[in-house]
Structure 1
Amino acid sequence: MPRPMWSGSISFGLVNIPVKLYNAVKKKSIHFNQLRKSDGCRIRLKKICPSDGAEVPAENIVKGYEISPDQYVIVTSDELEAIQPKNAHTISIEDFVELGQIDPLYYDNCYYLTPDKGAGKAYSLLLAAMRKTSKVAIARVVMRNKEYLTAIRPAGNALSLSTMHFADEIIAADQLEELPVDVPEPDTRELAMAEQLIESLSTGFEPAKYHDQYHHQVLEMLEKKAEGQTVISQPEVKEGGKVIDLMAALEASISAIKNKNDGGKGQKLVKDTKPVAAARRKKASAQ
């Protein structure tokens, strides 16, 4: 059962809505421990002072900000808490904007907001009003000694909150050195073919159809090794070389998509050597 990671209130004009904040994302990751190669003994990482080689316990560790080489200003948790904004438990809505005005580059982590006790009516009112106006609320909130810019928007029957990067944290594309310069305008035929290729790949966004294939393959490999099986290396996939004839590459891409949409008629069936797919077929036949 998910547990709230923060509680406070949404400040909406003169309206105050007590809320709880929940993680909206459950990240899947595979963690490996470090072991000694000779006997598999797990390695412990210790915090060692380089000046005397002694291990430093957690209670003797303080925060320090380096102001010059090997010169630090010591900061305590009480000092950081003392300068926190007074509204540290308030999500202060400052503006309402159109969703399309927000570049996805600004988004960071995602959360759900739920009403606290007695706040259901006010919460539902804000949710309904935001649905009606199709607006996104831009707000500030302080969490873990850091101020965040956030975007609040309806997500089904709940409000979602996405933390955002501030403008000065975004690297502008014009700062990149390897962007093409002095490139001529695209050839009319090539542009038409590129547009056709995009249209042939266009569809509705269905998140459930995309899977982390590498994650599944690693889990399958670990299961096989745990059962004592030998893991066979997968054949190397040859990467395509540099595009010499752009038009030919576009035409070939469109032709391949047409063949795929036609069910591969006239094409030879290629055996799927991917371990996940093979495992699924094996399980299906056994049922």
Structure 2
Amino acid sequence: MARPVWSGTLTFGLVSLPIQMYPATDSHTVRFHQLQRGTSDRVRNKRVNERTGEEVPLDEVVKAYDDGDEYVLVEPQELDDIAPGRSKSLEITGFVELAEVEPVFFDRTYYLGPKGKEYAKVYALLHKALEEAGRAGIATFVMRNHQYLVAVKAEAGLLTLHTLHWADEIRDPRQEIDDLPGRTKVTDRELKMARQLVDTLGMEWRPEEFRDTYQEQVNALIKAKRTGEAVEKAEPPAESTNVVDLMDALRASVDRAKKPSGSAGKAPSGGAKGGGGKKRGSDAPAPPTRISDAAAKRRGRGAGKGAAKGKCGTGPASLDTLTKAELYQRATDAGLPGRSAMNRAELIEALRGTHRRRASS
């Protein structure tokens, strides 16, 4: 069970609610130690006096601001003394429509819980009021020597707190990006085809179907280096679409997205039919995976050979030679459920199972 990272009092109007704040997310980033090359010696960071070279204990370290002429020393207690509400107050100053807060302002998310069962009624009252109003409470509070602008929302049966960026922290994209397109002209045919592609690839938001595959590859790399196995390299990035071939690329994308799954050639339940933009079911074709030109050429050669010999080209032996992108495309063509969450080995095993079932039927 997570420990609260902050506790204090949430106030709205004259109503006070003692709360505790818990982290809502957890990072699964692989952590590495630093070693000196050629040894097993850990490399650690130390607080060192740059004049004497000696290590300085933490309790002897003070904060200092360089004003150009000299250092202005600030003690931690002095920062606590000037904190609004002495760091223990979260006062809602007003309630805004949720749609008014642009996504770029949101930073981190926390769960809020009542600090004791005796405050359950006040907690439930605020949750219900926010839920029915469709609004978020805007407040500020101080945590660990930082003041935060936050939005308090009612979500999934509890109160959540989202830290927000301050307005002057949001960068102007027109000043940051040199080559933003201005009034670029697109033809009606290009726009119609692009809209059709967007509608055809319509999907329901299911975050559980997406995984951090890079961290999985990092873990696989560590395992392979431990056991001395070969390491599979990632696919090279797809090349940029040539503007001259834009319509051809759009048309091919729409055609591939419309392609029904399964050997019987029937569209899956809830799948996209034509350009109607219906949402796909969990077993419908996933968005097409980008494939490099080299992989596309290999697939084209393989398809030609398979057609000449009258084989499907998905036999157990041939699967080991395919890239993950090619395996994923075959899984899409076969309508394999859950393929978006599979790694390369799982895709091979699932496709082999499909091949065995077809061979026995």
TM-score for both structures, normalised by structure 1: 0.89
What is the alpha-carbon distance in structure 1 between the residues aligned to residue 256 and residue 96 of structure 2?
42
Instruction: Kindly indicate whether the alpha-carbon contact (under 8 Å) linking 1:153 and 1:161 is maintained by their aligned counterparts in 2.
Output: yes
Q: Could you tell me how far 1:190 is from its partner in structure 2?
A: 0.6
The SS at the match of 2:67 is strand
Structure 1 stretches lacking a partner, 5+ long: none
Other structure's SS at 2:9 match: strand
- Compute the displacement of 1:30 (Å): 0.8
Describe the superposition over 1:25-44 as per-residue Cα deviations: whole angstroms up to 9, x where unpaired: 01111111111222222122
Residue matched to 1:277: 344
Q: Return the alpha-carbon distance in structure 2 between the equivalents of residues 131 and 46 of structure 1.
A: 49
Structure scoring higher RCO (CA < 8 A, sep ≥ 6) equals 1
Deviation at 1:147, TM superposition (A): 1.2
The 5 Å alignment of 1:5-24 reads 5-24=5-24
**Partner letter of residue 89 of structure 1?**
K
More strand by share: 1
After TM superposition, give the deviation of residue 50 of structure 1 in Å.
Answer: 2.7
Q: Secondary structure at the match of 2:37?
A: coil
Which residue in 2 is equivalent to 1:82?
A: 81
CA contact (8 A) 1:217 1:276 kept: no
- State the partner residue of 1:99: 98
Compute the displacement of 1:68 (Å).
1.9
Name structure 2 gaps, 5 residues minimum: 266-302, 304-311, 325-341, 353-361
* Counterpart contact for 1:138–1:152, Cα < 8 Å: yes
Contact 1:23–1:110 (CA<8 Å) still a contact in 2?
yes
Name the amino acid aligned to 2:115: D
What does residue range 1-287 of structure 1 map to in structure 2 within 5 Å?
Answer: 1-68=1-68, 71-86=70-85, 88-117=87-116, 118-226=118-226, 228-234=227-233, 236-244=235-243, 245-259=245-259, 261-263=260-262, 271=319, 273-274=323-324, 276-278=343-345
For 2:130 and 2:313, how far apart are their aligned partners in 1?
Answer: 53
Tell me the distance in 1 between the aligned counterparts of 2:237 and 2:114. Answer: 53
Inter-partner Cα distance in structure 2 for 1:151 and 1:56: 40
| Structure 1 vs Structure 2 CA RMSD | 2.6
Question: Which segment drifts farther, 86-95 or 228-237?
Answer: 228-237
Counterpart-to-counterpart distance in 1, 2:231 and 2:246: 37
Question: In the TM superposition, what is the alpha-carbon distance from 1:231 to its structure 2 partner?
Answer: 3.0
* Matches of 2:11 and 2:213, distance apart in 1: 42
Other structure's SS at 2:84 match:
coil
The percentage of counterpart residues that share the same residue type is 33
Paired residues of 2:35 and 2:41 also in contact (CA < 8 A):
yes
> Which segment is superposed worse, 84-93 or 193-202?
84-93
Write out per-residue CA displacement over residues 136-184 of structure 1, whole angstroms, 9 at most, x where no aligned residue: 1111111111111111111212101000001011002222242335543
Deviations 1:1-36 (A, max 9, x none): 111111112101111011110000011111111112
> What TM-score results when the alignment is normalised by the length of structure 2?
0.71
**Contact persistence 2:62–2:75 (CA under 8 A):** yes
Residue 128 of structure 2: SS of its match in structure 1? Answer: helix
Residues 37-82 of structure 1, C-alpha deviations (whole Å, 9 max, x = no match): 222221222222332322222222211112227x321111121112
Q: Normalized per residue, which structure has more helix?
A: 2
Mapped partners of 1:154, 1:102: distance in 2: 15
Q: Is the 8 A contact 2:90 2:139 kept in 1?
A: yes
Query: 1:59–1:134: structure 2 CA closer, same or farther, 3 Å change rule?
Result: same
Corresponding residue number in structure 1 for 2:356: none
Helix, strand or coil: the match of 1:47? coil
Distance 1:252 1:124, change over 3 A: same
